[in-house]
Structure 1
Amino acid sequence: MSVGMELDLRTVAEYPFWLPASVVGLLLIKATVITLLLWRLGVGQAVQAGMLMGQGGEFAFIVLGYAVTARLLPAETGQFLLVVVSLSMLAAPGSAALGQRFAAWWDSTRGGCAAAVAGPGAGEPPRAGHIVIGGYGRVGRLVADVLARHGIEHVAIERDHHLVAAARKETGNLHSGDASMPHLLARLGIGECAAVVLTMDDPKAALEAVRALRRHYPALPIIARARDEKHARLLKGAGANEVISETVESGLQLARFALSSAGMPEGAAGLHIQVERAERIATATGAAEEPAQRN
C-alpha cells in the first residue's frame, strides 16, 4: 500500500508512447526468457508459462525504491519504472489468458504438450476403451498395476516432472501434464476412454480436475479419490460419478476386521460393511446435491 501511494499517475499522461512501449517490452523480454528456459516442456506450455510470469514483481518496488533513496537513479526515472512495473502487473491476467489460449491452440493443431513432453520411451496413447489415470503417486501406480495385471489398457498423466522421469523407467504409458487441462488429456484419447480415475493427493487439484472434465466432457465417467467425507461431498457436487474416501474406506476395513474379531461371521461382517458404505455414499451424494438445489 505504501509503495502504491508513491505512484504518480500523471506519469501516464507525460509518456503516452514510451510508457505502454516499455510495459510491452518488459512483458515480451521476460516472457521470452522464461519461454526459452522451459522450452523442453513443449512450445505450448513454455509460451503459456512465459506469458503467465512475464510481468514485473513486487520485489522491483523495493529495489527501485532503494535505488532512488540511495540516489542511484533519478527520481523521475524511478517513478517511470515504478509505473511500468505496476502496469505490467495490471496486464498480467490478460497476458496469462492469451498464453492459455495459445497453448490450447498449439496443442490442438500441432500435437502439443502431451506429445512433446512424452519424451523417449513413452508409448502411444490407446485408441479407445482405455482408462485414463490422473496422478501417478502411490495410489495411481497401484491402480495402474491392477489394470496391467488384468490386461486393461491405460494411460497416466502426472504433473510432477521428477516423478514422471523416475517412473518412465518402469512404464511407457506415463505422460507429463495436468489432469485439470482437458486439451492436454484430449491428446491421450480421453474422448474415447472408458473412464477417468483421479488419484491426486492434492484435494484442490482433484476438485479442479473434476470440474474441468465435467465441463468439457459431460458424459465422461469420473472416479475420484477423496481425502475425507467433506472432500468427497465437494467432488460429488462437482460432478464425479464415484468417490472413494480414504478415511471412510480405511475405517470400514478396520471395522470389518473388528467385527470378525468379535465373533461375527466373515460374510455377515462383509455385508454390514457394504451397507455402511452404501449409506455413507448416499449421505455424501445427498449433501452434495442439496446446495445445488438451493442454487
Structure 2
Amino acid sequence: MHADQVDVSAAGVAALIAAQFPHWRDRPVRPLASAGTVNALFRLGDDLVLRFPLRPSAAAGRRDELAGVQEQARRLAAELPCAIPEPVALGAPGPDYPGWWSVYRWIPGETAGGPGLDAVPFARDLAGFVAALHGTDTGGRRWDGVSRGGPLATRDADVRGALAASTHLIDTAGLARIWARCRDAAPATAEVRIHADLMPGNLLVRDGRLAAVIDLEALAVGDPAVDLMPAWNLLGAAARAAYREALGVDDATWRRGQGWAIVQAIVALPYYAGTNPVMAATARGTLAAILDSRPPRG
C-alpha cells in the first residue's frame, strides 16, 4: 500500500518473540488478515495480538508514542462503557524488524460492516462510547496542530487535491459543494478527547452490539465532530439519525462531522483504489452516503 512499508513475516515475528519474550516462545504466531493501513497484525497464541507498524521506526520518540498510547489505554479503560485494547508489552527493534512494536490482549468479536449498517441499538452503543470518551479529562491539552481535530480549513488543500485526483471515481463536483459548506460551518466551541479514527474496522461487534473500540493510536484532543465520521462511513439512515440524537449534536457540529468524513474518505479513495479494496470501498461508500444525504438543489 505504501512505497516505504516493510514486509513482516511470521518467522521474523517468532524470532523477535523468542529473543525478547522467551516465556512466550512456544506460542504459535499467526498472521491476521486486516484491511488496516498502518499496522501488520499477528496473533500470538489465543489471547494476544501483536501490532507492527508498516513504516517502522527505531527512534526513541516512536517508542514514547507507542508507550503513550498504552498508558492512555490503561487510564481510560475504567471510564468507558465498552472494551478498549489492553496493553501487555512493548517490543523493541531487532534483526527481523527495525522498529518498536506493541503487544495487546486479544478481544474477540467481528469488525463492523461497511456503510449502510442500520442497527439502531449498535448506533446508540457507539454514541455512548463517544460521549464517555469526550467526557474524559484532557489534562488541559489542546489540539496539537497536526492530528485530526483542528479547523477543517486546514485540510482544504488536501481535500481539493484529492477531489482533482478522483474525478473518474466519484461525483467530485457535488462533493466540492458539500465540502465548502462543511469547511465554512461554525467552529467548535470546545475541544475534547477524541478517538479520531472510528472506521468500521476499529469497531468490534458481538451479537449485533458494540463489543469494543480498538486502535487507539490516533487518540487526540480536538473538535468532537471528528468522531461523527461513523454516521457516514458505517451507519445507514435510521442508525445515523439515532447516533445524532443520542449525542445531541447541533447543526454546525453535524456539518463539521460530515466534513471530517469527507476528509478521510476523499484522501483515501484515490490512494487505496488500486492497493486496498476494502479501504477504497469504504471510502466510496462514505462519499456516496454523503452525496445521498445532501438537500435537493433549487
When normalised by structure 2's length, the TM-score is 0.23
Higher relative contact order (CA 8 A, sep 6+): 2
Select the structure of larger CA radius of gyration: 1
